[in-house]
Amino acid sequence: MAEKLQTVVTSDQAFYDNEPIGSPEEHAKWMQEIKFYFDRYAYRLNANLAGLNGHVAELGAGSCGLSVCLSRLENVKRVTSLDISSKRMARMIDVSASVLRGDQSKITPVACNFNGTLPFDDGELDAILFDAALHHTRSMWSTLAECNRVLSPGGVLIAQRESYLSPFRARRQITKLLNTPEIAAKVSENIYLLDQYKYYLSVSGFNVEFIGVERSYLKKLLSFANGFALFTDGVLFCKKII
């Protein structure tokens, strides 16, 4: 009997295929926020890529804003932007590239569900980046194992703009999360403590560093407390342990 081919659209894909796009002004503001986080580690990342092949990937790329930032780095030769929704990438990549003035010729968007096998050979990538996307995985263990597999020795995994659970506000944060359109649409939404990210990443073979990012004047004054009890905002900058 001939096998019947079936295209399965997951609830995650359906949600992101149909999520409305904001106004051009909102998009520009959003791109500046992505760049604000990126600028905190861009120099280090570029230095880390010196002498390597410079093939990097963004997982959960969506607007491809972070991919565009990456395309501006001298030592990034090629960016593969993966997202479960190719429609979302197609709708936004041109606007993101024009707002952030990147080199779109370096970027290749690819439809891919990062809950499964990543479309790369062992050790093919020198860096993997997530912008507000890692927490969407349905299994932190399998996604991080795949990242480890496809990264070269000493390769870098970066997760920026994750939301972090606060030990003091957890109940309120979870209640808010459970009332989002994502939860109503059965999207994989999660929120973790910084310590949980550190645990998952270190067990998955990464050295983890947290780079604090403070966006308000008050938070800048309190930067010494970032990542502890008061607030957590920043970038996970992780190196694959060789």
Catalog residues that contact ligand SAM under the rule CB under 6 A: 12, 16, 60-63, 65, 83-85, 88, 113-115, 131-133, 136
Nearer to ligand SAM, 53 or 117 (CB): 117
Q: What is the DSSP letter of 164?
A: B
Question: Measured between alpha carbons, how far is 156 from 94 in angstroms, rounded to an integer?
Answer: 27
**What minimum distance in Å lies between the beta carbon of 17 and ligand SAM?**
8
CB atoms within 10 A of CB 8: 6
Nearer to ligand SAM, 136 or 240 (CB): 136
**What minimum distance in Å lies between the beta carbon of 39 and ligand SAM?**
16
Which residue is at the shortest CB distance from ligand SAM? 62
Nearer to ligand SAM, 32 or 207 (CB): 32
Nearer to ligand SAM, 35 or 223 (CB): 35
E strand or H helix that includes residue 175: helix 170-178
**What minimum distance in Å lies between the beta carbon of 113 and ligand SAM?**
4
Strand order in the sheet with 125-131: 107-111, 78-83, 55-59, 125-131, 151-160, 234-240, 206-212
Tell me phi and psi for residue 156, to 5 degrees: -120, 140
